[in-house]
Amino acid sequence: MTKILCVDDEANVLAGFQRGLRRQFELEVAAGGDAALALLEKDTSFAVIVSDMRMPGMSGLQLLQRVKQRWPDIVRVMLTGNADQQTAVDAVNEGAIFRFLTKPCPPDRLAATLTAALEQHRLLTAERTLLEDTLHGSVRTLTDILALLAPETFGRGQQLREQMRAVAESLQLPDRWELELAAMLHGLGQIALPAEVAARARAGAALSTAEETMVRRVPEVGSNLLQHIPRLENVARMVLFQSKHYDGSGFPLDTPGGRAIPAGARLLHVLVDLAQLEARGSSRREALAQLRERAGWYDPDLLLAAAAVLGGVATRPVTTIAFKDLKPGQVLVSDVTTRDGLLILAAGNRVSPGLLERLRNFAAVSGVREPLYVEV
């Protein structure tokens, strides 16, 4: 994106912009703030906006504030005949402008400013693209590792993500992508557990003191893996505090409770414990009743919201397929076992490319019992 939008309420000023700059830049003009916003809504290719300060109706400062909120990547330049210090301070603080220019502005200085603004936009967007690509690649790698090393935890994470989305939408919680990712990766630290300890912990069996310590530290291990990935700091905190009780007890020790616990962690605590009780044989209704009996453990408002959204068990159509027809994205309704009865992948898992490769390897060696049952 290299287009520049110049905004002024005087037609002769806009004509001067076009005469002086159109040979060097891809330029469009708008007569006032409302016209500028309408143009920005229709055309997303603008990289820079230059606005006069004093305009009837919507001022330049009000316009740049709106642009900052709606299109934060557009670099903002203020051009004004009022050079007092307070105007400059307001423009910088409230409009977060890149440059503040005073009228009359020499054409060569304006051109140099626009060139610098275009470069600033290129740097901002390149950095964001690099950050997003790094984030997506890191998350995909982590989920693939979790799917291969702890497929049951991976499957439960996918189910929790859907539940988290449903409850978060009902409450209109912000940054839902972070909440869903925390649900998806809540058990990442399980990859550090010996397989037999993880199996006994899932089943609710008795553990030794050393094993209890390992299990208690699972959120910390997962959080440590996440906290150094750009933009996942909040997700790491949610994972860390997922077992912290609302009354301040629980892990981590010596940290505050109540609303000092991140909201995503408080909701994750409800959903993880609900899933654990259901995995051990309780119905949804029974599991919710058990959560209500645990005084001080959960945020009462979030427990109530989760019960309202998840109280009924939704069912989806199921179909049978041959193993060769299994594809990434499908959700298993039944366990996948070898012909000898060895469990390869538990019901509830959404098949990822990594999981499908694992299944194919088992099928090549031991065969897979068919048909498979998947959600439609």
pLDDT 10s digits, 335-370: 788 888 777 877 777 888 888 888 888 888 888 888
Q: Which helix (H) or strand (E) holds 375?
A: strand 372-375
pLDDT score, position 368: 87
Superfamily of domain 3-126: Response regulator (3.40.50.2300)
- The residues facing 7 across adjacent strands are 30, 51
Task: Look up the CATH architecture of domain 315-376.
Answer: Alpha-Beta Complex (3.90)
- Check: pTM over 0.75? Answer yes or no: no
| CB distance 35 to 56 below 8 Å | no
For 272, residues 6+ apart whose C-beta sits below 8 A from its C-beta are 160, 186, 242, 243
Measure the CA angle with vertex 160, ends 159 and 165; round to 5°: 105
User: Could you tell me where the DSSP H helices lie in 311-352?
Assistant: none
Residue ranges per structural domain of the chain: 3-126, 150-314, 315-376
Q: 112: part of which helix (H) or strand (E)?
A: helix 107-149
**What is residue 93's predicted lDDT score, i.e. its pLDDT?**
56
Q: Respond yes or no on whether the N-terminal peptide bond of residue 317 is cis (omega within 30° of 0).
A: no
- Pick the range with the lowest mean pLDDT from 32-36, 164-168, 203-207, 321-325: 203-207
Beta-bridge mates of residue 6: 29, 50
Tell me the C-alpha to C-alpha distance, in Å, between residue 177 and each of 155, 161, 180, 288, 306: 18, 10, 5, 25, 18
Question: Given this model, what pLDDT does residue 343 score?
Answer: 77
**Torsion angle of the four alpha carbons 323, 326, 332, 334, in this order, in degrees rounded to the nearest 10:** -10
What string of DSSP letters covers 197-239? HHHHHHHT----HHHHHHHHTHHHHHHHHHTTSTT-HHHHHHH
CATH homologous superfamily of 150-314: Hypothetical protein af1432 (1.10.3210.10)
Residue 75 pLDDT grade (very low, low, confident, very high; cuts 50, 70, 90):
very high
pLDDT for the residue 234: 92
pLDDT top residue among 249 and 200: 249
